[in-house]
Amino acid sequence: MPVLQRKDAVATRECRSFDTGTCPHPRSEPEVYPQPERTVSVLAVSPFEDDHMFLGNIFSHSNWHIHGVRCWRDALGHLSEHRTAVVVCERDLPDSDWKRVLADLGSMPDAPLLIVTSRWADDYLWAEVLNLGGYDVLMKPFDQTEVVRVVGLAWLNWKNNRDRVRRNAAPKLAAAVGM
């Protein structure tokens, strides 16, 4: 599976040396994040144009297609016409909120995973999103590395769930046809 590599990422690790004790040094391997082989659609639902621009810029040189809409009504229109793996949604929308978005997504076939964004992301919001079935929370202002990591892992989770459902359905379909 191809991966998105951050060439500017420098991580450190601890090593033990008998002579010098513990010393941090740069890790030679770049950080890697899952990336689709084909174009994958991510829907950004936010009344803030800056969010759409930032997310679009992050993924502009990859196989991700970010489609931005300002309200949930427009998002529903997009979702009815385009298969979407991940929805990145502002906590509060002009015509809805993340809980309504999550409920609506849950009723869709091949439902996209929801990532909630907020300037006021705290432990309470994070716990609530996860407990109700959302995928994760991204705090604003966005951190590029965290956005790429969370969206990439959400897509991978969505893809694995979809593949598992298809694998489980194949024997049942074969048995039904054979009867």
The pairing of strands 31-34 and 3-6 is: antiparallel
pLDDT in tens, 54-75: 999 999 888 889 999 999 999 9
Identify the residue whose tokens are 């996209």. 112
Kindly provide the residue ranges of all beta strands, DSSP E only, lying in the chain, ordered along the sequence.
3-6, 12-17, 21-26, 31-34, 40-45, 64-69, 86-90, 92-93, 96-97, 113-118, 136-139
- Nearest 5°: the CA angle 37, 43, 49 is 125
pLDDT in tens, 81-135: 999 999 999 999 999 999 999 999 999 988 999 999 999 999 999 999 999 999 9
The structural domains of the chain, with segments of one domain joined by +, span 30-165
Helix, strand, coil % in the chain, rounded to nearest 5: 40, 30, 30
Lowest mean pLDDT among 7-16, 84-93, 159-168: 7-16
pLDDT value of residue 32: 52
Burial of residue 169 (number of CB atoms within 10 Å: 0-12, 13-18, 19+): exposed
**In the CATH scheme, what is the homologous superfamily, with its name and number, of domain 30-165?**
Response regulator (3.40.50.2300)
Q: pTM of the predicted model, to two decimals?
A: 0.76
Distance CA 87, CA 113 (A): 6
Assess contact for 170 and 178: CB atoms under 8 A. no
| Both structure tokens of 115 | 């990532």
